[in-house]
Amino acid sequence: MSRVVVIGSGIAGLIAAVEASRHHSVTLITKSNLAESNTHYAQGGIAAVSSDDDTVAEHIADTLVAGAGLCWPEAVDVLCSEGPGRINDLVALGVDFDRQGEQFARGLEAAHSHARVLHAGGDATGAGISNALVAAVRATNTEIHEHTFLVDIAIEKHATEKDAAGRSQVAGVHVFDTTGTRFIAADIVILASGGAGQLFRHTTNPAVTTGDGVAAALRAGAVLADVEFYQFHPTALAVPGSFLISEAVRGEGAVLINAAGERFMKALHPMAELAPRDIVARGIQSQMMAQGGQPVLLDATALGASFLSERFPSISAACRSYGLNWATTPIPVTPAAHYWMGGVATDDWGRTSIPGLYAVGEVASTGAHGANRLASNSLLESIVFAHRAVSNLGQPWPEDAPAARWGAQGPLLELDLTETVGRPSTQVVDRVELQTMMWDNVGLARTRTTLESTLDQIHAWRPADPAHRLFPDWEDANLLLLAQALTESALARHESRGGHYRLDYPETNPALARPLTIARKV
């Protein structure tokens, strides 16, 4: 029996805790309450093959195409093949997917060759999953610490017995709560703390998404991969808070129109509104630039009032709350930061480069998404790899994990952490200024000039003094560090591919179809 600490309470963390608690002593740490996570707000659903007219091979092919040449094929194979089994696990844990007769109801989303996106409560899929899993984890003997912040991952050296290479090994976590900072010892730490949408001024993600797990792993010495690849969702409601308008709405037939009332996506891609996300998001951005920054419109009026309120109750309610009637009038939409393909580099079992440290869900970079994630593959990745990580507990840690995939394949960038840990003369980082700069300079389109000026500003900021930090200060320190990692990686990738678009290198360079990895300079 191992002492396992799980960080995060989205779908990946909850599944990891439920499964690990069957054989191990589990402590779950979450910085808000158990139900608050990016998962909770997921709308479209979870992609998996569940019908006779669809095949795992086609799901694999769609995922590889969306990933723009950067997927790790073995991870994609694992994701799509094991997905249907993990969906059955969710059903057994009480997730009530919508049905049509005996079959799961299935939605279509961009770049999928079949309707294979399962949903719950119409567009309240995330809440349906999260509520069931919160109940499931509460029914285990998991020790739950809410409102508790991961400060750092503690590691110690094992010279010979456990690890012949003498590598560092996880020893526990330092956390911060109302009582101050304390240490929790652990044999295993499973990071499931999600992405970092809060790096950008406009994001569909909730306030908790500040990349705390990725930043802590980087400080602990773990290798990150693919961090230059950020996915911008094409359609967020153009209101403060960027409420997500699910791709499933376009899957049901809604279309995008510009200020002149013209459908512009048809000229940009054969799949029009259902082209891969990066293409639709940039198509919208160009239209917006051509119309003086005004948002484009999503026209769902042809779908009819009763269908819209039944299939998309959450979006219908959100539109009403902003005084919009989307059954009669097209609604204003704009791209917003949505999902980080990059993260802590793992192998197919969630193992990172630090023995004892697993990463699952958006915090991880498994290679399953490549440069651009296929819609609704993220919840799937979380359950598949959380399950695999738990099933791997107790197994020997290969000396090259996960370097077999990442280490040999590309240049290793080194991040000098001293540049973000405090020069007394510099200014404390301002979150809104950081987010605005990241949106403007490191968002949908990047250039060497915008990236270099971003790095200059990042180096002119410092995080608040650790001795006086509250939750937002710990978050700001993480966002500043991750902004540096993302910007340096974006500067180093001299091409455009998937979620990374360089105006000064607009073409994809086949010679660069390999991951960039980044780690702290030692």
Query: What gap in Å lies between CA 118 and CA 99, rounded to an integer?
Result: 9
Name the token pair of 370.
């490549």
Query: What gap in Å lies between CA 36 and CA 206, rounded to an integer?
Result: 9
Q: Taking CB under 6 A as the rule, does residue 98 contact ligand SIN?
A: no
CB of 288 to ligand SIN, least distance (A): 19
**Residue count at the site for ligand SIN (CB under 6 A)?**
10
CB of 113 to ligand SIN, least distance (A): 16
Kindly tell me which of 43 and 450 has the beta carbon lying closer to ligand SIN: 43
Q: What are phi and psi of 293, to 5 degrees?
A: 90, -5
Kindly tell me which of 168 and 376 has the beta carbon lying closer to ligand SIN: 376
CB of 341 to ligand SIN, least distance (A): 12
Contacts (CB under 6 A) with ligand SIN, residues 239-268: 246-248
Contacts (CB under 6 A) with ligand SIN, residues 326-365: 338-339
Kindly tell me which of 47 and 190 has the beta carbon lying closer to ligand SIN: 47
CB of 287 to ligand SIN, least distance (A): 19
Contact of 139 with 18, CB cutoff 8 Å: no
Contact of 379 with 10, CB cutoff 8 Å: no
Spatial neighbors of 276 by CB under 8 A, at least 6 apart, are 65, 66, 68, 110, 111, 269, 372, 374, 498
CB of 44 to ligand SIN, least distance (A): 3
Query: What gap in Å lies between CA 60 and CA 57, rounded to an integer?
Result: 5
Kindly tell me which of 405 and 500 has the beta carbon lying closer to ligand SIN: 500
Torsion sign, CA atoms 319, 325, 328, 333 = negative
CB neighbours (10 Å) of residue 290? 13
Residue showing the smallest CB distance to ligand SIN in the complex = 44
Torsion sign, CA atoms 150, 9, 376, 312 = negative
Instruction: Print the binding letters for residues 20-49 with ligand SIN: x by CB under 6 A, - otherwise.
Output: -----------------------xx-----
Q: Give Cα 89 distance to the centre of its chain.
A: 22
CB of 349 to ligand SIN, least distance (A): 23
| 99 catalytically annotated | no
Name the token pair of 311.
């299939």
Nearest to 486 by CA among 512, 511, 450, 522: 450
Instruction: Print the binding letters for residues 359-398 with ligand SIN: x by CB under 6 A, - otherwise.
Output: ----------------xx-x--------------------
Choose the catalytic residue: 277, 373, 388, 462: 277
Positions marked active-site: 277
Q: Which residues bind ligand SIN (CB under 6 A)?
A: 43-44, 246-248, 338-339, 375-376, 378
